[in-house]
Structure 1
Amino acid sequence: MLDLPLITRAGTQEASSVREYLSFTLGSVDYGIDILTVQEIRSFTSPTRIAHSPVEVLGVMNLRGVVVPIVDLRLKLDCANAEYNLSTVVIVLNLGTKVVGVVADSVSDVVRLEPGEVLPAPDVHTGHGEGFITGMATVGERMLILVDAESLLCGAESASPTQALV
């Protein structure tokens, strides 16, 4: 009997063990986010600021009739202040009933990872709700921090001011 991959109606390989991640950078750190949550990638344009919003929420943008909150992940993760340039992007994520844009310095590529390539998330207890880190993976010469967008932006471990807007 041949061990062939299952092909879905969309024509893609369904291998429950293989996951695909969009890799992006924040400063000098590489992150990966489940490609199935990514709706689109757009070049950065300044969003419309909302008064009294948390510092990490840069504002909102109109995406084909949908008002989308834009969150700067550098500010959300307490990284260095962002410098917006031509490589800065907004990754639009579809998180079930919510659409959220996250600002990243750049996107790199789509990475396919087998379960054996994903290492457990470190147990560092920083007090910043590190439960959004789902694992780590080495891809070539770089270490990729894998994140769960929903936990980071909407989950119980997310800072409540951001959660109120997204």
Structure 2
Amino acid sequence: MAGIGHIDTQGSEASGQEYLVFTLGTEEYGIDILKVQEIRSYETVTRIANAPDFLKGVTNLRGVIVPIVDLRLKFKLGNVRYDHQTVVIILNVAGRVVGIVVDGVSDVLTLTGDDIKPAPEFGVSVSNEHLTGLGSVEGRMLILIDIERMMTSPEMELIEAELA
């Protein structure tokens, strides 16, 4: 498992794009490493009344109030457990800091255009409009998410609601 801490996003290779790989259930997902600010252990958050179930609450991160979304609940994966491998990926999207809860982080992979295939049009847990494609590297299949588009979408109720 990757160490918990600050992510160095300066050394990306010109031949491809780097993705942070994380797990939700048995699936592996990838998000653009440049959106990742840091990775933290899961800590209890402050619940917000009348928030959607997937919005676990907020936490104070060095003086910044950060909404925390549990992607396992958002994707309706069921059987959500919080254990020593559960982590929060802190993201910087649309000028806001938000956190996503995932089962674990495995590594950072560089994918080229040849490694990425179009997203399928059938039953996946993520809306196709939030997928950038499927990555295939080293015999692994990654579901690539446009995390900024997903986190700023109206159904997430994160960005617009807090600016109002």
TM range (shorter): 0.7 to 0.9
Give the TM-score taking structure 2 as reference length. 0.85
Partner of 1:74: 72
- In structure 2, give the amino acid aligned to 1:39: Q
Post-superposition offset of 1:139 = 2.6
For the aligned residues, what is the CA RMSD? 2.3
- In structure 2, give the amino acid aligned to 1:72: D
Instruction: Give the percent of matched residue pairs that are identical in Structure 1 and Structure 2.
Output: 49
Question: Residues 88-127 of structure 1: CA distance to partner in whole angstroms, max 9, x if unpaired?
Answer: 0000000131111000000000000111111111122779
Q: Kindly report which structure 2 residues correspond to 1:6-155, keeping only aligned pairs within 5 A, or say none.
A: 12=11, 15=14, 17-124=15-122, 129-155=127-153
Task: Identify if the C-alpha distance between structure 1 residues 82 and 106 changes in structure 2 by more than 3 Å, giving closer, same or farther.
Answer: same
Give the TM-score taking structure 1 as reference length. 0.84
- In structure 1, give the amino acid aligned to 2:23: T
Task: Identify if the C-alpha distance between structure 1 residues 138 and 84 changes in structure 2 by more than 3 Å, giving closer, same or farther.
Answer: same
Distance in 1 (alpha carbons) for counterparts of 2:94 and 2:53: 24
Gaps of 5+ in 1: 1-9
Task: Identify if the C-alpha distance between structure 1 residues 116 and 96 changes in structure 2 by more than 3 Å, giving closer, same or farther.
Answer: same
Question: Residues 40-96 of structure 1: CA distance to partner in whole angstroms, max 9, x if unpaired?
Answer: 000001111111111000000000000000000011112223100000000000013
Distance in 1 (alpha carbons) for counterparts of 2:126 and 2:20: 23
Task: Identify if the C-alpha distance between structure 1 residues 44 and 126 changes in structure 2 by more than 3 Å, giving closer, same or farther.
Answer: closer
